[in-house]
Amino acid sequence: MEKRVTIATIKAFIRKHGDNIHIRYLSSFDGMTDCVQRVDGLRTFQPRRVGEHPSHDLGIAGAWFVGRSRDCFSPLTEDGFTGYHVYNCCGSFDLAVRQ
């Protein structure tokens, strides 16, 4: 049985891998339509950039964590990357490192 993925798991993953983390955007909140929309064009892993809101992006630009148990996490292994898929009301993205 696999261990449950929590925000603590994600924080430990970020601490352990630091600047080696890549992010892939899958969807994000669109204020024009007032809903989460699929992101076209940027569906490949991009190197980590430093975020501006450490309490919500955990230091990774493009990542957004809602908190209070409203984020969903699952393990991810594909395309030579391993990490985690994150989904919440603000969108979805993958955080991963090259294998």
16-64: pLDDT as tens digits: 998 899 999 888 888 888 888 887 766 788 888 888 878 888 989 888 8
Q: Of all helices (H) and strands (E), which one includes residue 82?
A: strand 81-88
Residue 1 pLDDT more than 90? Answer: no
Compute the half-sphere exposure of residue 4: CA atoms within 13 Å on the CB side of its CA.
3
Would you state the pLDDT for residue 55? 80
Mean of per-residue pLDDT scores for the chain: 89
CB–CB of 75/5 below 8 Å?
A: yes
